Amino acid sequence: MARQKENIAAEARKLVEDARAGIYKPVYVLMGDEPYYPDLVCQAILDNCIDEFGKDFNETVCYGADVTAEQVITAARRFPMMADRQLVVVKEAQMLKGIEDIAIYCNEPLDSTVLVLLLHKASLDKRKSLYKSAQKIGAVLDSPALRDYEVPAWIGNYYSERGLSIEPAAAALFAESVGTDLSTIVVETDKLLKNLPEGVRSVSIADIERNVGISRQFSVFELTKELSYRNAQKALTIAAHLGNAARFAMPQAVSALYMHFNRILRYAALLARGGYPSPDDKAAALAGVNPYFYKEYDIAVRNYPLPKAMAVMSLLCEYDYLGKGGDGAATTPAELLLELVAKILNT
């Protein structure tokens, strides 16, 4: 999956570069659960396909809920006015009734038309003819959503592409603050960079704390670290603050802890085989972890050997159920988190 997502980023960059160079496909299907890359490619086409003087005559932008497939096909079959090409863009195309009928147009597309179907957090059925036809004659970009553990690495790569660097701990804290929505990360990054001194090319954890509005001291990121080191007092203090925060949600906290201890469990299972693991085996066990944090996991796996790691995973499953209202318990989320952290420390 990670490799697929790297390919999506590369595919999107290539489509953007082609648009800027005036190279277009007759049909684009831009789709997937993560809208950042589809939106990026669509905007590049809108910015470059038709010049400003021709937009009134040769650019049509509509929304799927407002048009029919027949109307889109009719628009795509028009010839451009005093120009080499026209552009037809259907945004929120997942709302387009009869969208599969556009496969008929794909069988005989006009060389002078660029047709873009932009689906928002949705995808075509890959078994049906429109997807297959678009893939054959045009470009299909299918952008999957990132998982929580993949976001820090994405942030690091994004900063690198912009000629910046970000500390791994800062990327992890940033990811905790903004979540998995890539567009939000981009917007928050732009805000952050405006507040940094001119010429600064490296972003620290202090910059994230100061400009993004999250404190490392009382974050899930810091909680997992203190649990790794079995620092009971600090872990319980963080849990108490987290649980009483206005935006705290028990399911998200349990999810982050589950991901952390699942890595510890995999690493413990690897070490239980005996012998020193190869770098590749270690990287596979700690998938999604920046090597910067390996030292923490080396300590965590000593504090939570295989039986204890398995016991913690069992606890997390139990508290995931309770945190979602299981058993109708009247315990508050703050109390549940504190109770969970105390039990983890006592395994």
- pLDDT 10s digits, 107-162: 999 999 999 999 999 999 999 999 999 999 999 999 999 888 888 889 999 988 88
> What burial class does residue 206 get, using C-beta atoms within 10 Å of its C-beta: 0-12 exposed, 13-18 middle, 19+ buried?
exposed
Q: What is the pLDDT of residues 243-260, one digit of tens each?
A: 887 778 888 889 889 999
Residues 251, 257, 261: CA angle, nearest 5 degrees: 140
Closest-CA residue to 336 (of 273, 269, 250, 268) = 250
- pLDDT at residue 328 in the model: 62
Residue in the block written with tokens 């872990």 = 235
Considering the chain, what percentage of its residues have pLDDT values greater than 70?
96
Give pTM, 2 decimals: 0.73
SS3 content of the chain, % helix, strand, coil (to 5): 65, 10, 25
Q: What is the pLDDT of residues 211-222, one digit of tens each?
A: 776 666 678 888
Domains of the chain (ranges; CATH) run: 2-142 (3.40.50.300), 148-214 (1.10.8.60), 217-345 (1.20.272.10)
